[in-house]
Structure formats: C-alpha cells, structure tokens
Chain A
Amino acid sequence: MPSELETAMESLIMVFHRYAGKEGRSGTLTRRELRTLMENELSGFLKSQKDPTTIDRIMKDLDANGDGEVNFEEFVSLVVGLSIACEACYRTQLKNTQTWNL
C-alpha cells in the first residue's frame, strides 16, 4: 500500500506525463501544454495564470537547459516553488487551528 506521500509523488508524475504527451516531444511540456496544465491543475493556486506574460515568465524560469520546453526535472522546480509558497500559508493555518491530525 503506497503512503500518502508516495501517492502524491506518483500523481505529480502522472499529471506531468498526461500533459506532456499531447504534442511535441512526449517527455516534455511545450508552452501550450504547460499553459493547459496550469489552467486545469493549478487554477486555485495561480489566479493570474490567464495573463499570457505570466506563462511566458514561468516557462522561462523553469526551462533551465534553454531548449524551449519543460522536462520533468524542470517541472519539479515548479512543484518545489509552489510547495514553498504553500508552506508558509499552511503553517499559519495549522498554528491557528492547533491540530496536527491530517
């Protein structure tokens, strides 16, 4: 039985490959695939993702090897960045409720 954390990692991998397989190289996200992924999967976190300059900026930030697409390793940076942003917010939430039961 996979744990919650293992299941979470698994689902991040699945999400990436589901969108990466739509067009272009199958193991990487094109700009359009990244945009669809963010619109469908991160609409609660990234309210301003409709702004086309946001997606360009994120794409540029993520594309560490400069090949114009986002591979899984580069996608992980997005996950890390979002986790760091959420950490502060969940920490405050937890402090206010004082419960550690998930």
Chain B
Amino acid sequence: MEGAIKTVVMQYLSSARGKESLGGKNFQKLVQGQLGNILSDTDSASAVKDMMKGLDDNQDGKVSFQEYLTLVGYLANSLSEQKSTASGHEEAPKH
C-alpha cells in the first residue's frame, strides 16, 4: 500500500517536472498517459480542459497537488463502487 501511495505522489511530481503545480499541457499528458483506461474522452483536449476546470478549486488555471488528489480520490471511489456493485455487495453509496 505504501508503494501505491508513492506511485500516486510520484506520478504527479514527475508530471509537474519540479514545478509547484501542473499546467494544462502537463495535466493533459498525465491524464492521457495514466488514466486512459478508466476515463473515456482523454484524447479530447476540450474534455480534459473541462475536467481541469472542474478540479481547479482556487481558479489559478493549474492543478495543484491537492486538486489532483481530489481527482484520484474521486476515481478510486467510483472504481470501488463499481466493483462492489459488480460483486453483489449491497453497500449503497451515500451522497
């Protein structure tokens, strides 16, 4: 599990290339390279841009590490829900 957390952190850091946060281009590269299998539309630049806008809480036009974790957390939650529904566990997601 520590390895998985390290991967989550390192993917961001290597995409940000030493900068504090991810600019549009690097975010797009990260999404296309790392999330292409679980997200549809990663090839569409406008879809990725919309996603970035949705994540950008502080509206600085970049994706901070916290904002990136929001995305990872959201995706992990949806994947987990999909799995438990598929395997028949009735743990209804609460919103």
Interface SS, B side: helix
- Most B-side CB within 10 Å, residue of A1, A9, A12, A86: A9
Interface stretch (choices B28-36, B43-51, B55-63): B28-36
Q: How far is the CA of A41 from the CA of B66 in the complex (A)?
A: 23
Check if B83 is an interface residue, CB within 8 A of chain A.
Answer: yes
Kindly identify, within residues 6 to 51 of chain A, every residue whose CB is under 8 Å from any CB belonging to chain B: 6-13, 15-17, 25-28, 37, 41-42, 44-45
B40 interface contact, C-beta 8 A: no
- Contact A2:B9 (CB < 8 A) given known A12-B76, A13-B80, A102-B14: no
Residue of A15, A28, A90, A95 with most chain B CB atoms under a 10 A cut-off: A90
Quick check: B10 and A27 within 8 Å, CB to CB? Answer: no
Knowing A90-B6, A100-B14, the reply to whether A84 touches B1 (Cβ < 8 A) is no
List A contacts of B8 (CB < 8 A).
5, 8-9, 79, 83
Q: Give the residue of B9, B17, B80 whose beta carbon is less than 8 angstroms from that of A86.
A: B9
Listed in ascending order, the chain A residues whose CB lies under 8 Å from chain B are: 1-13, 15-17, 25-28, 37, 41-42, 44-45, 65, 71-73, 76-77, 79-80, 82-84, 86-87, 90-91, 94-95, 100-102
When A and B form their complex, which 4 residue pairs have the shortest distance between CB atoms, in order from nearest?
A27-B91, A41-B1, A5-B34, A8-B7
25 A-B pairs in the complex with CB atoms less than 8 angstroms apart: A3-B35, A3-B37, A4-B34, A5-B8, A5-B35, A7-B4, A7-B7, A9-B8, A11-B1, A13-B76, A27-B91, A42-B1, A42-B2, A65-B94, A72-B81, A73-B77, A76-B73, A84-B69, A86-B9, A87-B65, A91-B13, A95-B18, A100-B14, A100-B17, A101-B14
